[in-house]
Chains A and B, each alone.
Chain A
Amino acid sequence: MTARISPGTAYGFFTDTSICIGCKACEVACKEWNQLPGNAPRFLGDSLDNTGQLDAMNWRHVQFVEQFTPSAPGGGGGRQAWLMMSDVCKHCNQASCMDVCPTGAIIRTEFDTVFIQQDVCNGCRNCISACPFGVIGFHGDTGTVRKCTLCYDRLQAGMQPACAQACPTQSIQFGPLDQLHKRADARLATLHGDGHDRARLYGRDGQVYGGLGAFFLLMDRPETYGLPSAASAVRPGRNNAPGYLGALLGSVLAVLGGLIALRRRNESPGTR
């Protein structure tokens, strides 16, 4: 499958949703390997999805999007698509979670993946509000936040991630990013050739968060899959300067107001 896995190379996922069959083997493999029991079973009836979202117990989540526009009585016409997409931490090159973490618990590994050190995290949950993809979840038992580790432990042992290994259709492909990029470009070309004009790559280039370590081939707009469009993909840091300037403005005005009110002045007896 994948050749030697060596530190210093950037690894990641190319998730080709055009061949995902929604079997959820990735979800189960991830849970088995990482010993995640999952949340209490609940029928969501969201198409065939009963997992709901990525969180501390679900580091892979297969989305099902039903796109059926009523076809003519004859049966012709109308869009009939059932999109499936195995969502996961994107291992952003510019990781919002990392930007805001006060403890430095979130690090970039020797495989260029984003990893949350469980022994450092103190559960402040700032990263949760920062992750633009809603990936991270807080886990009460450990008092820390958790997410996909990109199987850091397996990579260190020279094994590919459990989810990729379990994926029967190779919808999840693991490997050195540069190789994955080539494969993705070729696949996209084929799909466009076949007239799938909505198909596109997401996170393959720098447009979203400087490029995603786990990038996707999508069969529709990112929003369809709950992913921010390139325009909405902004970093938390953008608000640092404006935020502090706002605070400064407030301070100056307040202090002025205070000085005016509390200044020395000879009381005019009338007002007493």
Chain B
Amino acid sequence: MVSLAATFGRGAMTNHWRDIRNADLILINGANPAEAHPVGFQWFMRAKLDRGARIVHTDPRFTRTSAVADVHLPIRTGTDAAYFGGLINHVLQNNLFHDEYVRNYTNASWIVQEGYGFQDGLFSGYDAGRRTYDISTWAYEGTTAPSQASAGQPQQQVQVSGQSPQGTSLDAFARRDPTLQDPRCVFQLMRQHYARYTPEMVERITGIPRARFLEVARMVGEMGRPDRVMTIVYAVGLTHHTTGSQLIRSGAILQLLLGNIGRPGGGMNAERGHANIQGNTDNAISWEILPGYLRVPAPGQRTLDDYVAQSASRRSDPNSWNFLGANYRKFMVSLLKTWYGDAATAGNQYAFDHLPKPAQNASWMSIYDNALRGRMKGVLLSGMTATSIGPDSNQVMTALGNLEWLVVMDPLPTTSSEFWHAPGVDPATVRTEVFMLPTTHWIEKDGSFVNSGRWMQWKDQVLPPEGQSRHDHWILAELLLRVRRLYQQQGGRHPDPVLQLTMDYADPHRPTLDEIAREVNGRDLATGKRLASFALLRDDGTTTAGNWIYTGFYPESGNLARRRQGIDDPARNDPTGLGHYPNWAWSWPLNRRVLYNRASADLAGRPWDPGRPGIQWDGSRWVGDVPDYPATMSPSDPNAWLPFIMNGEGVGRLFSNSTIDGPFPEHYEPVESPITNPLHPQVSASPVAFLYDRAAGRRNRFGTAKDYPYIATSYRLTEHEHYVTQHVPLLVGLQPEPFVELPVQLAEQRGIRTGDRVRVSSARGRLEVLALVTPRLQPLTVDGRTVYQVGIPIHWGFVGVAADRDPNRGANWLANALTPFVGDANARTPEFKAFLVNVERM
């Protein structure tokens, strides 16, 4: 998500599921939609069946997606930056990019400061001691401070990196060269950067046979034509790497070059995970953001002004609207009013002081890292199981055992609620007190699911709650009220945030989701009426918005996420015929179905492809999809805004300083890799990946190809949903026992046959499961040698039907016993998808 925001301005799927059927070419990288998104996958099939679209699946394994794709490219895990780099180079070298689009809708013409540079695998400003970059040189000529994305890296890392934002509110405009000739313009720098990614280099790094790569490059090259459009679909096969954000940025850049962003059938589309993970992200599940991707304040930000100045992006072009930056204060003030009500006044900066200003990273792994360091009293896990999620489950279990208390909120027993008596664990040695708070399952509540395409779909309760379970929001409300009572009775440090938090619900102990939904939408405090758009939000404390990007889904007229005008009457409900169904549910922002859709039309407002218009100028207004742009701003207006209204530049970023591991994506090896980086051996892996154990002074837990000769990647099977479906007998029947997939040749060498028990070990732990030998995992020739990749489904553990049937209670069934405890520089996402193992017959 970070990389999308860093490129386009918003961290979300640019298009939506149904829109995939409008594509001519579908690149699937780091995703296995046929297995992980089978229902959404119908739109890939429709594109294939209805318009003869071609599907290219690039994946280390030949999966159920590959089975119905037109081309499957076997790739070494963790090397997509090189693959995309090769495609970008192909497009640049052969001038296959969408020229008009690139010139006008991207920052290709922006001139980059002297001082920026890239050499031997390092960008300018590297600090080897801190393993971070000082990104101040990654800026445009004329701008003093880098403009930043709305969602991006943790604030204080920017501080660490030594770049202190100037207080000046004056926008500094960047110098541009429309001819794209200036050697320091983004376009030329990019050309130079990618020149190294020749088909030979791509083959050497990725293992994709050159001929097959060129075949795909030809298909992709076609897509720069205005009348053609390609979509790139990805998921955690790209995210789960120490280079995750760069892998994704590579794809985003390719799409900008081909002019495929903002267009129906195009986009850089992230398939999200759980049915409502997009909703979670929008609502601050990630530690460094507040609802609506507003930054979590950082130490040193004494005033609201400091905060806004350091968080909001700046205009770097006169024609940039910089919508978010311009309105940042309104959104923040409205949020504070929502939370602290009357206690938030102009006088106290709307209770800005109530917000925590965390001094250190609090991402997923940091939690267990801190527990290991003994800095953590307790943890409350809700709707997930740390033990299974990993990485490095053994270390995570040690961490859980190092707490005073652990609270698990879940409808079902999990490997976390049961970790204290896991196979091989002596309960006596676990000092942690574990509480289980049975919650209702989502199927036992109403509320909304926000899908990958940002569609917020309200659902009703399907089953009545069972036993003593309670709704999560009731449990949390109760917790707050009891803590509040303790503060009232006993006092305590800085009580206001707890005492003054609004709980304006009919029954504060049992808020309804409908009440919360209305609170999220926000209202005008003067009239008391709910607002229909975030455009109406003000920074004078007269409006509220629990999450500004959702403002408008629940106007006075009612909850728009409930709308269901669908395929029963396509003629009426899908006027554009492109599958937007504007009156089905509601999508943020403001029910736009395709983001950045101003870029779907040329400068004059004519659609690039009349057959697939996003929005177009009818002489007086923009018609089609809900415009991601002022509805009546004429293209002929000399001051007309640029299309990417969320970016300070107003255009898409080929060069971006919003990811702290490099303005241009570069291929780095996974932290555990059998080869050293052919591009720059001395800087093989990401120089800024966060090495937790090392930072904490714990012993090194990485292995080398000497002891662990095989590459492993972990993934999902259609038949299971992570760990929870271990409780579902029919699904356990479909995939009854844990197994690993092994290439035929490797199995022969190790004398392993399907059905044998094998031990898969890494520097961190071991897995003891059945072998499934298959030709679907092909050996690759990488940097001149043969490498084998081992496939590890993630779904098993010591809890559930399968474990109950196992004599050893599912001992050594946790896939994450193997994975490395390391995070990518931006989001600190673990490297679940590339690590080294050994395999032996038991």
Interface residues in chain A, defined as those with a beta carbon under 8 Å from any beta carbon in chain B: 18-25, 27-28, 31-32, 37-39, 41-43, 45, 47-48, 50-51, 66, 68, 70-71, 73-76, 80-84, 168-170, 187, 190
Q: How near does chain B come to A197, taking the closest CB pair, in angstroms? A: 16
A73 to B48, CA, bound (A): 30
Complex interface: chain B residues within 8 A of A25 (CB): 38
B35 touches A21 (CB 8 A): yes
Q: Tell yes or no: B523 within 8 A of A by CB.
A: no
Among all A-B residue pairs, the 5 with the closest Cβ atoms: A75-B209, A41-B736, A68-B775, A21-B34, A82-B67
B786 (CB) vs chain A CBs: closest residue: A73
Which of B39-47, B351-359, B621-629 lies on the face that meets chain A? B39-47
Q: If the complex has contacts A25-B38, A80-B72, A170-B45, are A41 and B718 also in contact, measured as CB distance less than 8 A? A: no
Interface size grouping (class) on chain B? 35 or more
Identify B718's interface contact among A18, A22, A38, A169, CB under 8 A. A22
Contacts A75-B74, A82-B64 known; list 16 others, CB within 8 Å.
A21-B41, A21-B65, A21-B68, A21-B718, A22-B67, A23-B34, A38-B733, A45-B739, A50-B734, A68-B776, A73-B781, A75-B778, A80-B72, A84-B64, A168-B39, A190-B52
Contact B212 A43 (CB under 8 A): no
- Is A24's CB under 8 angstroms from B41's CB? no
| A24 touching B62, Cβ below 8 Å | no
Measured between alpha carbons, how far is A228 from B127 in the docked complex, in Å? 69
Q: Interface centre among B210, B730, B772, by most A CB within 10 Å?
A: B730
Say whether B377 faces chain A, with CB atoms less than 8 Å apart: no
Whether the pair B774, A24 counts as a contact (CB closer than 8 A) is no
Q: Is the CB of A41 within 8 A of B209?
A: no
Q: What would be 17 A-B contacts, judged by CB atoms less than 8 Å apart?
A: A21-B718, A23-B34, A23-B64, A24-B719, A38-B729, A43-B755, A45-B739, A45-B754, A45-B755, A48-B735, A50-B734, A51-B733, A73-B781, A74-B211, A75-B211, A82-B776, A169-B45
- Would you list which residues of chain B between 775 and 823 have a CB under 8 Å from chain A? 775-776, 778, 781, 801-802, 805
Q: Out of B35, B209, B736, B739, name the residue touching A23 (CB < 8 Å).
A: B35
Query: Using Cβ atoms and an 8 Å threshold, which residues of chain A touch B209?
Result: 74-76
CB neighbours (8 Å) of A66 from chain B are 774-776
Q: In the complex, A76 Cα to B533 Cα: how many Å? A: 55
A169 to B802, CA, bound (A): 29
**Contact assessment for B62 and A28 in the assembled complex, using a CB-CB cutoff below 8 Å:** no
Contacts of A24 in B (CB 8 A): 718-719, 734
B737 within 8 A of A: yes
**Which of B62, B65, B802 is packed against the most chain A CB atoms within 10 Å?**
B62
Q: Is the CB of B734 within 8 A of A27?
A: yes
Name, among B42, B67, B68, B210, the residue most crowded by chain A CB atoms within 10 Å (CB to CB).
B67
Instruction: Please indicate the chain B residues that have their CB under 8 angstroms from the CB of A71 in the complex.
Output: 778
Instruction: Kindly identify which residue among B42, B68, B74, B772 contacts A170, using a CB–CB cutoff of 8 Å.
Output: B42
Give the residues in chain A near B41, CB-CB below 8 Å.
21, 168-169
- Give the shortest distance, in Å, between A219 (CB) and chain B (any CB): 10
Q: Please encode chain B, from 49 to 85, with 1 for each CB lying within 8 Å of some chain A CB and 0 for all others.
A: 1001000000000101111100010100000000000
Q: Are the C-beta atoms of A28 and B730 separated by less than 8 Å?
A: yes
B733 lies within 8 A of A22 (CB) = no
Closest chain A residue, CB of each to CB of B215: A76
Please report which residues of chain B, range 197-233, place their CB below 8 angstroms from some CB of chain A when the two chains form the complex. 208-212
Say whether B736 contacts A50, CB under 8 Å: yes
Which single residue of chain A is at the shortest CB-CB distance from B74?
A75
Q: Does B475 contact A (CB under 8 A)?
A: no
Q: In the bound complex, what is the Cα–Cα distance between A41 and B38 (angstroms)?
A: 23
How far is B210's CA from A73's CA once the two chains are assembled, in angstroms?
12
Q: Which residues of chain A are near B732, meaning CB under 8 Å?
A: 41
Interface mask (B703-747 → A, CB under 8 Å = 1, otherwise 0): 000000000000001110000000001111111110100000000
Q: Count chain A CB atoms within 10 A of each CB in B210, B734, B770, B775 and give the residue with the most.
A: B734
Q: Which B residue sits closest to A45, measured CB to CB?
A: B754
Measured CA separation A31–B729 after assembly (Å): 11
B47 vs chain A, min Cβ distance (A): 12
Cα(A82)–Cα(B35), bound, Å: 14
A82 close to B66 (CB less than 8 A): yes
Q: A19, B64: Cβ atoms under 8 Å? A: no
B49's partner among A19, A38, A50 (CB-CB below 8 A) is: A19
| B66 partner residues in chain A, CB cutoff 8 A | 82
Enumerate chain A residues within 8 angstroms of B772, measured Cβ to Cβ: 45
Q: Nearest A residue to B49 by beta-carbon distance?
A: A19
Given A25-B38, A68-B776: A51 and B734 interface contact (C-beta under 8 Å)? yes
By the criterion CB–CB under 8 Å, are B67 and A81 in contact? yes
Q: Which residues of A contact B775 (CB under 8 A)?
A: 66, 68, 70
Q: How far is the CA of A242 from the CA of B380 in the complex (A)?
A: 77
Q: Which residue of B lies closest to A36 (CB)?
A: B730
Complex interface: chain B residues within 8 A of A187 (CB): 49
The reply to whether B42 and A169 form a contact with Cβ atoms under 8 Å apart is yes
Contact (Cβ within 8 A) B68 A37? no
Q: A43 contacts B736, CB within 8 Å?
A: yes
Q: How distant is the Cα of A138 from the Cα of B67 in the complex, in angstroms?
A: 34
Q: Tell me the bound Cα distance from A68 to B49 in angstroms.
A: 25
A160 to chain B, nearest CB (A): 15
Q: Which residue of A lies closest to B780 (CB)?
A: A75
B42 touches A23 (CB 8 A): no
Write the nearest CB–CB distance from B781 to chain A, whole angstroms.
Answer: 7
A80 to B781, CA, bound (A): 18
**Residue interface bits B19-35, CB-to-A below 8 A is 1, else 0:** 00000000000000011
Contact partners of B717 in chain A: CB under 8 A: 48
The residue from A18, A21, A45, A68 contacting B64, defined by CB atoms under 8 A apart:
A21
Nearest-neighbour CB distance to chain B for A41, whole angstroms, equals 3
Q: Determine the residue in chain B with the shortest Cβ distance to A69.
A: B775
Bound complex: CA A84 to CA B65 (Å):
11
Complex contacts, B731 vs chain A, CB 8 Å: 28
Contacts of A37 in B (CB 8 A): 729-730
On whether the beta carbons of B730 and A19 are closer than 8 Å, the reply is no
A56 → B minimal CB distance (Å): 15
Find the residue from A27, A75, A82 having the highest chain B CB count within 10 A: A75
Instruction: Chain B residues near A21: list those with CB within 8 A.
Output: 34-35, 38, 41, 64-65, 67-68, 718
* A43 and B739 contact, Cβ closer than 8 Å, known pairs A23-B64, A32-B730: yes
A170 to B209, CA, bound (A): 34
Q: Is the CB of A23 within 8 A of B718?
A: yes
Q: Is the CB of A76 within 8 A of B212?
A: yes
Which of B35, B730, B736 is close to A31, meaning CB atoms less than 8 Å apart? B730
- Cα distance A75–B731 in the bound complex, in angstroms: 35
Residues of B within 8 A of A18 (CB): 68
Please determine whether B64 and A22 come into contact, CB atoms closer than 8 angstroms.
yes
- Inter-chain CA distance A47–B62, complex, in Å, is 12
User: Shortest CB–CB separation between residue A81 and chain B, in angstroms?
Assistant: 7
**Which of chain A's residues has its CB closest to B801's CB?**
A41
CB distance from A128 to the nearest CB of B (A): 23
- In the complex, which residues of chain B have a beta carbon less than 8 angstroms from the beta carbon of A31? 730
Select the residue from B210, B733, B772 with max chain A CB neighbours within 10 A. Answer: B733
A157 to B238, CA, bound (A): 46
Q: Which residue of B lies closest to A72 (CB)?
A: B209
Q: Enumerate chain B residues within 8 angstroms of A23, measured Cβ to Cβ.
A: 34-35, 38, 64, 718
| B737 proximity list for chain A (CB < 8 A) | 41, 43
Considering residues A21, A25, A71, A84, which has the most beta carbons from chain B within 10 angstroms of its beta carbon? A21
Least distance between B787 CB and chain A CB atoms (Å): 13
